[in-house]
Amino acid sequence: MKLSELISILPFADNPVDYQEIEITGVEIDSRKVKPGSLFICIRGFQTDGHLYVGEAIKNGAKALIVEENVNTEIPVIQVSDTTRALAQIVNKFYQYPTAELPLIGVTGTNGKTTVTYLLEEIYQTYGRKTGVIGTIQTKLEDKVYKTNNTTPDALALQRLFKQMKEAGIEQVIMEVSSHALDIGRVYGCDFDTVIFTNLSQDHLDYHGNEWKYFYAKSLLFSRLGNTYNHKDKYAVINADDSYANELKKMTAQSVVTYGMHNKADIMATSIQLFSERTIFRLKTPLGTVKITSRLIGKFNIYNMLAASAAAIVNGVPLITIKQALEHIAAVPGRFETVQAGQDYTVIVDYAHTPDALKNILETTKVLTTGNVYLVVGCGGDRDQTKRSEMARIAVDKGDFAVFTSDNPRTEDPKDILADMTSGLDKQSANYEIEEDRKLAIEKVMSYANPGDIVVIAGKGHETYQDIAGKKLPFDDRLVARNAILKQVQKIQQN
């Protein structure tokens, strides 16, 4: 594509005659990935600044630059006030606006995003649609799986991925949309058709500052659905039981569809029965009511199923298909995932890393057993410090015994994080202990469990690493738990 054509989308951009014949063969924001013919866009990030790498980009073959500050060079330079916004505009044009034709569902909220995307994937595949999923765990193009570094990729990676999905014949895209991505403009240019709000509780306050700003960032997904009504129907799917529901409804001009268990909603769950191996409820919708028997456990998963069902219903998926999908899916990686290796107690690994998520997990497990609920949990470093003591309080109030440990300390000292967690607890309490080494913490709690008890390992879920002092070291809670159980079972057998 000609440079002049690309930058025509930018207001007030210089477009000298000299630019007319410059052919751009790619767009990059990482100077190391620049190839001859690339347009290099300088992005100011949290850790570095693309303007520092102009020389390397030119050396690698960049044909032109888009910058925010003056740069002296022989190749064409287009200066704009906001390169992040310019990036989204340019890559959309370069990849020919893929989401204008790709049906796109976005899911945001503090908890449940990943599970909802997996449920929607199951629903649409049951419906016979080719799906693409973008999220925390991975990116999927039907059966092809790719590793992801962020819950929501940057604008360049996203539009490139959408273009790839379009060419692969994907018929429905489902993606998680984080508050960070919304705040810094990663999803500028994404033409969402349906957006889902799961819930909002304390998280990411280290970044957003307070809960209202956190909510505001989430609400951007809904306001960006647009203010006009045309041939493309758009829907906002909102959890009616969340305290922010009414405020969120004001953020969109599009059709609002609600779901819930308690407040009146369009899609509701009634006659709820919770068991240790299944969940039963009646899914009440404007299309009719069906009984759902799911292998996903707990009320929080009912909310996830309601959210996915509501989005599918407004997009024309038959109720019988939704029922089949909800009853077929067994588990989502790292979300209330059980580990079984011959033990006579239950082990659950879950991504719960917020106060509300931890509370939900512990309240659910309490209902499922007459035995004790043991817990391994920590808090991540370089993240919201205000939730640490609250996480610990919930652990000792809702569980029977907690082992506080390390969880991705990053650049912080794990001892400082653990001190923050336990600062408000009774130091003489007998229902918690501290074990900084996460592997030892998991092994310890296994040794405490008796037949009929439940062990919850919270915080990391699907993750396969520990982020310590800038290095990601291999660590998988599920694998560590399994090995601990096998050692324990082997020891019992030997005796």
**Hey, where are the domains in the chain?**
3-94, 98-328, 337-494
Instruction: Give the pLDDT score at 314.
Output: 97
Cα 313–chain centre separation: 23
What CATH architecture does domain 3-94 belong to?
3-Layer(aba) Sandwich (3.40)
Q: Indicate the length of the chain as a whole number.
A: 495
Query: pTM for the full model?
Result: 0.89
The structure tokens listed for 231 are 């041939």
Identify whether the C-beta of residue 238 lies closer than 8 Å to the C-beta of residue 252. Answer: no
Q: What class has domain 337-494?
A: alpha beta
Q: Which residue has the tokens 């505001």?
A: 216
Buried-exposed string 380-419: b where 16+ CB fall within 10 A, e elsewhere: bbebbbebbbbbbebbbebbbbbbbbbbbbbebebeebbe
The CA distances from residue 157 to 88, 152, 161, in Å, are 10, 9, 6
Instruction: Give the pLDDT score at 212.
Output: 85
Give every CB contact of residue 237 below 8 A, 6+ residues apart in sequence: 194, 195, 196, 197, 257, 258, 259, 307, 310, 311, 314
Per-residue tens of pLDDT for the chain, all 495 residues? 999 889 989 987 765 556 668 999 999 999 999 999 999 999 988 678 999 999 999 999 999 999 999 888 889 999 999 999 999 999 999 999 999 999 999 999 989 999 999 999 999 999 999 999 998 888 888 778 887 777 778 999 999 999 999 999 999 999 999 988 898 888 999 999 999 999 998 666 666 678 889 899 999 999 999 888 887 899 999 999 999 999 999 999 999 999 999 999 999 999 999 988 899 999 999 999 999 999 999 999 999 999 999 999 999 999 999 999 999 999 889 999 999 999 999 999 999 999 999 999 999 999 889 899 999 999 999 998 999 999 999 999 999 999 999 999 999 999 999 999 999 998 888 899 999 999 999 999 999 999 999 999 999 999 999 999 989 999 999 999 999 999 988 877 776
Describe the strand order of the beta sheet including 373-377 as a list of residue ranges.
337-338, 346-350, 454-458, 373-377, 401-404, 432-434
> Measured between alpha carbons, how far is 488 from 407 in angstroms, rounded to an integer?
24
User: Residue 254 in 3-state DSSP?
Assistant: coil
Q: Which residue has the tokens 């999803």?
A: 187
Q: Which residue has the tokens 């895209």?
A: 173
Instruction: Give the pLDDT score at 18.
Output: 66
Instruction: Give the pLDDT score at 14.
Output: 65
The structure tokens listed for 193 are 């058709």
Sign of the Cα torsion 306, 307, 313, 319 reads negative
Instruction: Give the pLDDT score at 42.
Output: 96
Q: What class has domain 98-328?
A: alpha beta
